[in-house]
Chains A and B, each alone.
Chain A
Amino acid sequence: MKFRSSYPFLAWAVRDSIRQPLEALLLFLSLASLAAVLGTVLLLSQTLSHTAQRLLKDAPALVIRRVGAGGWAPMPVQESVRLAKSVAGVIGARTRIWGTVNGPGGPVTVFGIDQPLERAGLPDNILLPSPGQAILGPGVMADAKTGVIKLSGTNSLVVQVAAVLDSRTSMVAHDLVLLHPNDARQILGIAPGYARDLAVDVFYDNEAEALLPDLASAYPWPVLLITRREAAGIYSAGLARRSGLAYMTLVPALLALAFIVVGAYKNQSARRYEVGLYKAFGWTTADIFRLQLLKALFSGIPAVVCGLILAYGLVLWPGVSWPGYLLLGWKQYPPLLYLDVSGALLVLLEIALLLFLPYLAAALWPAIKAATTDPQDFLAKEFI
């Protein structure tokens, strides 16, 4: 039975590849693992930064903190709000009562909810904490098995767990404890009528930085002003520093890519006799180019696709937690990450090109060079 196919070159390419199965398997594994490592590192960095910026899009435009000779000082609520609103361009100001305290499984951030202000926008499924009650972030819940938790800051307080936030809020509120403002003040040692800082909204986001001198001069005490852009920049820079360790994996990865490229080039160069044979049988240069291209694609495409899909799943599977352990410093119960997919495909495409172009060049260049040479030279040299 004669072989007939619409894709004879593909059949030849596959046959040629599986003649050396171990070599083909090693090439597949090398390319796939390289694509997976590169994809995971670059995708995580890009999507984490993008998601963080998206989440903080509606954060306050400015935060005002009072400072004194001894460091941070509480701000009087009514006077602080009045002074902020006296500056043209400020459309809203609200005080915040928050701080870091010791919780059941380590440090947690407590946040006092100002009842009348927050009720309007609060989801229906979340109740505001009454005095003595707490609403826990998903990460604190795991430690609060008894229904009460003890929080120790300047003062200690035992509060009843009233509710737990949905796990999808993990990126924002993982180790957060929402309290009644009086409870928060008591734990943090803030006197009644005072707050930790002031969150300010401005009419035009772009003019937030222009308002800094006016806001600073509006207060009779020294203040530190932090804009949303500044806060987000620090956040991104911090994450970038941490993922810098992950980027270290790129060095061996690129070295591995160089080895693969050199290996492909040497392998192709060593098989010049075959090219001469094909030419002697009457194959054209275009036929040989097509065969080598299909061989390279048959080995390369599945490997790179497998590696990139693995990276995509590792990073963008909803609720992944391994970056918390490996990169973000969590010892137990890391936050579940729900990262944005936008821009991910572009990163994957870049990685595919980064791997494919040198690999294809190394595989095709010797073949093209050989195909344009007189076949008798190869055959003669082979039998000498």
Chain B
Amino acid sequence: MTSPTGQADRLGICNALGLFILILAAAAVVIVCVDAAHRSDTLNDQGAQLVRIFGFTRLSLVPSGRTLRMPHLCNSAVDWRYDPQLAGIQPDPADLILKDPD
């Protein structure tokens, strides 16, 4: 399996390239694992502290006034972003009838 000149057909380079790429991939996996293991879990501590202190029950992942921000307060048929009475958003009456205590 060698060329007429007696040299292997770039098999040496291929061998080094294969090892290099596989070692590189293994190193990348190790780096991700190390990062995941040592990633500080205190990044959200200040946020969790605010939840505990102020008694928040919602995160601010979606904009204020959106249904997902306050699912119990909104009628999903209305886009509350354009409600002139944003502060006085009313509950869904059907929900009240179902949950009204005896």
Contacts and interface: CB of A to CB of B under 8 A. Distances in A.
Interface residues of B, number: 70
Contact of A109 (B8, B17, B47, B64): B64
B35 to A, nearest CB: 8
Contact of A111 (B9, B11, B54, B69): B54
A104 B29 CA distance: 45
Contact of A238 (B44, B46, B54, B68): B68
A370 to B, nearest CB: 20
Nearest to A297: B22
B25 A301 contact: yes
B4 interface: no
A234 B81 contact: no
B48 A223 contact: no
Interface in A196-223: 199, 213, 216-217, 222-223
Interface in A217-236: 217, 222-226, 228, 231, 234-235
A138 to B, nearest CB: 9
Given A54-B48, A107-B64, A298-B22, 10 more contacts: A67-B96, A106-B81, A109-B69, A171-B59, A174-B60, A234-B72, A242-B68, A316-B39, A337-B61, A340-B41
Interface of B: 1-2, 6-12, 14-15, 17-19, 21-22, 24-25, 28-29, 32-33, 35-36, 39, 41, 43-44, 46-73, 80-81, 85-91, 95-96, 99-101
Interface of A: 1-3, 5, 7-8, 10-15, 18, 48, 51-52, 54-60, 63, 65, 67, 70-72, 94, 96, 99-102, 106-109, 111, 113, 118, 121-123, 137, 139, 153-154, 165-166, 168-176, 178, 187-189, 199, 213, 216-217, 222-226, 228, 231, 234-235, 238-239, 242, 294, 297-298, 301-302, 305-306, 308-309, 312, 316, 318, 324, 328-330, 335, 337-338, 340-342, 344-345, 348
